[in-house]
Amino acid sequence: METMMEKRKMTVSFLILSLAFLLLCIRCFYGFDWSDETYYLALPYRFVLGDQFFLHSWDIHQLSAMLLVPFVRLYTFIVGSTEGILLSFRLLYTVLQFIIAITAFSVFKKHFSIVASLLSSLSYLLFTPAQIQNFSYNTLSLSFLFLAILSFLSHKKGGFLFLSGIFFALAVQCYPFLVIFVPVIMVPLFFLFLRGCDKRKVVFSLLLFAGGCLLVLALLLCNLVMHSSFSALIHHLPYLITDPEHPSRGLLQPLYAYFFSYFSNYAFLLIISGASIASFLLLKQILPEGRRLLLRKLLFVIASALLLLEIFRAFFMKDIGVNRVHLFLIPFALTGPLFFLACKDFRHHFTPFLLWGSGILFSLAVSYGTNNGYSFFSFPFIFCTVAVILLISQIIPELFPNSIPLRAAFPLFLCCFIALIGTLRITIVYRDGPVSSLTAQLQHGPGAYLFTTQEQQQKYQSIIHAFSYLPEEGTVLFTKLLPFGYLATTAAPASPSIWRTPLESERLLQYYRLHPEKLPDCVFVVKDGYGITNEHNPLSVFFEEYLEDFEAINLDSATVYIKK
């Protein structure tokens, strides 16, 4: 009977995950973004057009773009252009998330209840950083690190350790700052996890993990040799690390800003948590063994109360928009230590500890690599959320074995929380109108088949019409933050970065001195009201002189200068 019941639970779990996957696939059709999402695909596309890594591109994120180049090249080969690429890659990313969620469920159910495994994997499936449902250095690093952890947890088969090394190295490739922090916790955890094994097995396991990392490194170096050169990397590396969009802040300043941002916004939670931990550790040494269970129950109640309070407070915090969903993850990360101390022996809860620690370290790594605030670099706390869900599912039977209402309230609360995360994922749209206003479908170009607002559709059609005046070959420069333009044309970018490049910058002139062949054959002067209007980028003196012999075509959305 129990076996039949387990099979039914498994079937229901798979159906729930599949239903969530179906809803996310439908959600892929809604919303259009001129900037970030198109940037993530325009970057690998510039290499498909023939640019070389590090030589022609000074974009700091091109390591993650390397992984997408084969897929973008295959897509353009099959379709013949980039038409519909945004929707197609959204769907591919959603498929990847679904596969990872199914994998997580399969791994977790071996050590946790089916309900806890379902809720934790579902929370991952329904989450994506900043609500951008596509491949990026953020989503790829998150996916690969989660796959590395899941493979690591399946360590009894040596091949999974090798696979874990591969996924971990891919995560580092997508977000290089991970290499600074994650090994700090990965290596000690490795020995902790294998503490019962003999030294030979530990060394062999480490070699398998390292072998997977080295394989990715070897393939990365081969890719650089085939499509660029080491001399190009060495010569152009200073231009990458001096990217004005990502200025160096040293080692300590981001660390200070990281902890200060959380303390200034969650002072009450952190002070109460610190006082509770100190009191618990002190009383644990004083009280007899029989009283420690009551102490752990009290700590669990405090942790649960703080968790609920902070989740409720997140509804009223000022940070709104796409990062709001991140605010609901922060309480799980900050109350994690309290829940771990409430366990009889947290060393027996290795899986939650590994996930929670990875989330904290990943968040710290992201804070070094972004100029956004704490609400953004909290997105790795999805790992902490998964960890606390799994941990609580083990703590409640341990602390309250006969409390049926409490054991029922836990999944009910998590269902409400996951429903909230799912609702935010469906309803919040990145840099577009509310879902209810997305009624106009785009017909051509990279955004084909997506639904957006009527106003956005008109601007999109005007821009697409203007692109028809661009040459099919040569180079093009957009005078505004419009990476969509580089994705929609077949002309190569005439800029060191397809992100924001001020025309009056010395960096751009230096790029042309090093690569005179990259001087633009066409300059696309985007008018106000089109693209991202967060800055005005007028023509510099250099371009005013350079464009004297160009033919000017004045259109609604832009003035297009074409070399005669």
Q: How confident is the model at residue 1 (pLDDT cuts 50, 70, 90)?
A: very low
Cβ(252)–Cβ(267) below 8 Å = no
Which among 523, 527, 525 is positioned nearest to 475, based on CA atoms?
523
**What is the average per-residue pLDDT within 45-53?**
93
Q: How confident is the model at residue 160 (pLDDT cuts 50, 70, 90)?
A: confident
Cα separation, 140 vs 146, in Å, equals 10
Q: Render the burial of 436-463: b for 16+ CB within 10 Å, e for the rest.
A: ebbebebebbbbbebbbbeebbebbbbb
**Residue 132 in this model has a pLDDT that exceeds 80:** yes
pLDDT at site 194: 56
Cβ(322)–Cβ(428) below 8 Å = yes
What does the longest C-alpha to C-alpha distance in the chain come to? Answer: 90
**Residue 67 in this model has a pLDDT that exceeds 50:** yes
Which among 515, 511, 523, 508 is positioned nearest to 471, based on CA atoms?
523
pLDDT at site 189: 55
Q: How confident is the model at residue 302 (pLDDT cuts 50, 70, 90)?
A: very high
Which among 449, 374, 368, 441 is positioned nearest to 89, based on CA atoms?
449
Q: Dihedral sign, CA of 84, 88, 91, 93?
A: negative
Neighbouring CB atoms inside 10 A of 74's CB total 11
Q: Which residue has the tokens 């019409």?
A: 465
pLDDT at site 391: 94
Q: Which residue has the tokens 């902790």?
A: 192
User: Is pLDDT larger for residue 239 or for residue 356?
Assistant: 356
| Residue 49 host element (H or E) | none
**Residue 289 in this model has a pLDDT that exceeds 90:** no
For residue 6, the Cα-to-chain-centroid distance in whole angstroms is 34
**What is the average per-residue pLDDT within 473-493?**
92
**In the chain, domain spans:** 1-248, 471-563
pLDDT at site 66: 94
What are the DSSP calls for 5-46, one per residue? HHHHHHHHHHHHHHHHHHHHHHHTTB---SSHHHHHHHHHHH
**Residue 512 in this model has a pLDDT that exceeds 80:** yes
Q: Is 431 left (phi over 0), alpha (psi -120 to 50) or beta?
A: left
Q: What stretches of 320-381 show up as alpha helix (H) in DSSP?
A: 324-327, 330-342, 350-369
81-99 per-position pLDDT tens digit: 999 999 999 999 999 999 9
Q: How confident is the model at residue 193 (pLDDT cuts 50, 70, 90)?
A: low
Q: What is the CA radius of gyration of the chain?
A: 26
User: Is pLDDT larger for residue 337 or for residue 236?
Assistant: 337
**Residue 436 in this model has a pLDDT that exceeds 70:** yes
User: Is pLDDT larger for residue 50 or for residue 404?
Assistant: 50
Residue type for position 260: F
Neighbouring CB atoms inside 10 A of 21's CB total 18
Lowest mean pLDDT among 1-15, 440-454, 495-509: 1-15
**Residue 2 in this model has a pLDDT that exceeds 60:** no
pLDDT at site 190: 60
Q: Dihedral sign, CA of 49, 55, 56, 61?
A: positive
**What is the average per-residue pLDDT within 107-113?**
92
Cα separation, 559 vs 186, in Å, equals 54
Lowest mean pLDDT among 259-273, 325-339, 366-380, 529-543: 529-543
Cβ(549)–Cβ(511) below 8 Å = no
**Residue 148 in this model has a pLDDT that exceeds 70:** yes
pLDDT at site 317: 82
**What is the average per-residue pLDDT within 395-415?**
83
Q: Running DSSP on this structure, what letter comes out for residue 534?
A: S
**Residue 411 in this model has a pLDDT that exceeds 90:** no
- Cα distances from 419 to residues 335, 392, 412, in angstroms, run 21, 18, 11
Q: Running DSSP on this structure, what letter comes out for residue 402?
A: T
What tokens appear for 229 in the block? 């050169």
335-356 per-position pLDDT tens digit: 999 999 998 877 678 899 989 9
pLDDT at site 210: 86
Count how many residues are written for the chain: 564
Cβ(129)–Cβ(139) below 8 Å = yes
Cα separation, 187 vs 193, in Å, equals 10
% of the chain surpassing 90 pLDDT: 54
What tokens appear for 364 in the block? 């710290």
Lowest mean pLDDT among 137-146, 164-173, 335-344, 404-413: 404-413
- Which long-range CB contacts under 8 A does 394-403 form with residues at least 24 apart? 394/112, 394/343, 394/349, 394/352, 395/300, 395/339, 395/342, 395/343, 398/343, 398/344, 399/293, 399/296, 399/297, 399/300, 399/342, 400/297
Q: Is 445 left (phi over 0), alpha (psi -120 to 50) or beta?
A: left
pLDDT at site 542: 84
Q: Running DSSP on this structure, what letter comes out for residue 550?
A: E
Residue type for position 266: Y
